[in-house]
């Protein structure tokens, strides 16, 4: 399977992956998160699990099950870890643990390495049986609500290691901590090359005109993604440039706030015929690919962001991105080289107009962005990093192997 990345991914990543596969061959690796559809975690695991299996490592991906009350509570935890104050009672925390207990009875937790993703399944450490356990936090925890952080940390500290996307998210813990940014798969349906006919098919499907410049943001309908701020920036630009705005996103099964935010966005758009709000069904990867390739300007104007995979996705397609200067976005956007970082609606509007009026700049920055993603944010690098952490935990105090 690694052969499909030859000539695309850096050769050193592929060599190290093969070596790690030889060292870990025959062992078992278990990933657990809260959903198979919606969001970057599920998207990465869909592509990563087959790669690791192809190396001879028995890899499984399980999801925890919960009711509406559970996911409402974990969404509050998510928001609080990203800085919003939320009322979370002791009964809610006990229910969080209880749902995980039920899942522990249902799931097979036996594996040589277990990687638990995000706060929803973090209490599963209580039911650990064997192997090395790692907790992977994908969200922006640079300014968490202290009480909520403490409740999550009582579980997180019991893991063998914790993994974060950006250095400033790391916490003061008595366990090993690693920084591993997320990644995209260049061979996936969302990132592969498309023909002109395939791209046009998507635009026709959603009745998007092709005679106007397109401003695009692809993200879940989440207040931290600031869709209202994107509309405000578009309205400032619209005074000078005849353009359209497309806000596109798919629902996530573990996000109960999505529908409410979508309704807020529709109300704020005020039936503007040049604003297209697309609630895409799960696994609309080809349509997202086509929209990103068709857009003149792409934004990820987040107010909090663990990483923002849509930034790397767009840059891989040769398009620079305008992004909020938060979380993992500055790790991807080198300001003025692969895109622009912004701090306000007005700043976003200024940069949008700069791109709309300077196609030569868009092309130059887009070429640099694609190469930046190739060397830093492809799935082969992230897979290499996860296996390296596992190998280091198993061989602590020993020598690392040589290529």
- pLDDT, one tens digit per residue, over 355-378 is 999 999 999 999 999 999 999 999
According to the 3-state scheme, what is the secondary structure of 191-206? Answer: CCCCCHHHHHHHHHHC
Q: Is 237 helix (H, G, I), strand (E, B) or coil?
A: helix
Digit-coded pLDDT (tens) for 81-134: 999 999 999 999 999 999 999 999 999 999 999 999 999 999 999 999 899 999
What is Dmax (Cα atoms) for the chain?
64
Task: Assess whether 371 and 383 both reside in one domain.
Answer: no
Task: Assess whether 179 and 210 both reside in one domain.
Answer: no
User: What's the mean pLDDT in 30-51?
Assistant: 92
Is 265 a residue whose pLDDT tops 60? yes
Would residue 305 count as lying in a domain? yes
Find the domain containing 20 and state its range.
2-183+378-394
- Percent of the chain's residues with pLDDT above 90: 88
Residue 54 sits in a domain of what CATH number?
3.40.50.2000
Would residue 296 count as lying in a domain? yes
d(CA 191, CA 206): 20
Task: Assess whether 208 and 126 both reside in one domain.
Answer: no
Would residue 51 count as lying in a domain? yes
Task: Assess whether 179 and 243 both reside in one domain.
Answer: no
Cα 249 to chain centroid distance, Å, stands at 13
Task: Assess whether 71 and 160 both reside in one domain.
Answer: yes
Task: Assess whether 146 and 20 both reside in one domain.
Answer: yes
**For residue 316, what pLDDT is reported?**
98
Is 330 a residue whose pLDDT tops 90? yes
User: What's the mean pLDDT in 329-356?
Assistant: 98
**For residue 398, what pLDDT is reported?**
58
Cα 16 to chain centroid distance, Å, stands at 24
Would residue 75 count as lying in a domain? yes
Task: Assess whether 330 and 389 both reside in one domain.
Answer: no
Task: Assess whether 28 and 164 both reside in one domain.
Answer: yes
- Percent of the chain's residues with pLDDT above 70: 98
Would residue 39 count as lying in a domain? yes
Mean pLDDT of the residues in the chain: 94
Task: Assess whether 330 and 384 both reside in one domain.
Answer: no
pTM of the model as a whole? 0.91
Edge-to-edge strand list for the sheet holding 161-164: 58-63, 28-33, 113-117, 132-137, 161-164, 176-179
Would residue 141 count as lying in a domain? yes
d(CA 145, CA 148): 6
Q: Which long-range contacts (CB under 8 A, 24 or more apart) does 146-151 make?
A: 147/88, 148/77, 148/80, 148/81, 148/86, 148/88, 149/81, 151/88, 151/93
**For residue 157, what pLDDT is reported?**
95
Would residue 245 count as lying in a domain? yes
Task: Assess whether 162 and 242 both reside in one domain.
Answer: no
Task: Assess whether 146 and 287 both reside in one domain.
Answer: no
Task: Assess whether 44 and 108 both reside in one domain.
Answer: yes
């Amino acid at each position: 399977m690694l052969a499909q990345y030859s000539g695309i991914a850096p050769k050193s990543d592929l060599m190290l992956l093969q070596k790690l596969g030889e060292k870990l061959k025959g062992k078992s690796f278990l990933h657990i998160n809260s959903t198979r559809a919606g969001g970057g975690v599920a998207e990465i695991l869909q592509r990563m699990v087959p790669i690791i299996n192809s190396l001879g490592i028995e890899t499984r991906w399980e999801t925890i099950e919960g009711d509406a009350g559970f996911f409402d509570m974990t969404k509050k935890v998510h928001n609080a870890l990203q800085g919003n104050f939320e009322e979370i009672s002791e009964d809610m925390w006990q229910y969080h643990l209880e749902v995980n207990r039920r899942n522990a009875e249902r799931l097979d937790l036996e594996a040589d390495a277990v990687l638990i993703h995000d706060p929803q399944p973090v209490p599963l450490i209580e039911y650990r049986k064997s192997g090395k356990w790692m907790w992977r936090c994908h969200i922006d925890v640079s300014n968490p609500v202290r009480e909520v952080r403490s409740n999550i940390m009582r579980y997180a500290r019991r893991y063998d290691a914790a993994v974060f996307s950006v250095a400033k998210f790391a916490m003061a813990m008595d366990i090993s901590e690693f920084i591993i940014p997320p990644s995209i798969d260049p061979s996936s349906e969302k990132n592969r090359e498309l023909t002109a006919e395939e791209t046009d098919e998507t635009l026709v499907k959603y009745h998007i005109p092709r005679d106007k410049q397109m401003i695009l943001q692809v993200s879940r309908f989440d207040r931290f993604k600031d869709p209202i701020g994107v509309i405000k920036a578009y309205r400032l630009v619209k005074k000078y440039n005849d353009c359209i705005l497309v806000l596109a996103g798919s629902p996530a099964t573990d996000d109960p706030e999505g529908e409410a935010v979508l309704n807020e966005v529709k109300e704020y758009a005020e039936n503007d015929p040049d604003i297209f709000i697309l609630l895409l069904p799960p696994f609309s990867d080809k349509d997202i690919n086509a929209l990103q390739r068709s857009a003149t300007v792409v934004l990820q104007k987040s107010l909090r962001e663990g990483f923002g995979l849509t930034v790397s996705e767009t840059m891989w397609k040769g398009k620079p991105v305008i992004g909020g200067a938060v979380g993992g976005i500055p790790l991807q956007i080198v300001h003025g080289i692969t895109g622009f970082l912004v701090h306000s609606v007005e700043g976003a509007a200024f940069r949008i107009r700069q791109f709309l009026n300077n196609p030569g700049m868009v092309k130059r920055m887009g070429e640099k962005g694609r190469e930046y993603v190739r060397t830093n944010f492809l799935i082969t690098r992230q897979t290499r990093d996860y296996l390296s952490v596992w190998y280091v935990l198993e061989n602590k105090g020993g020598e690392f192997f040589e290529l």
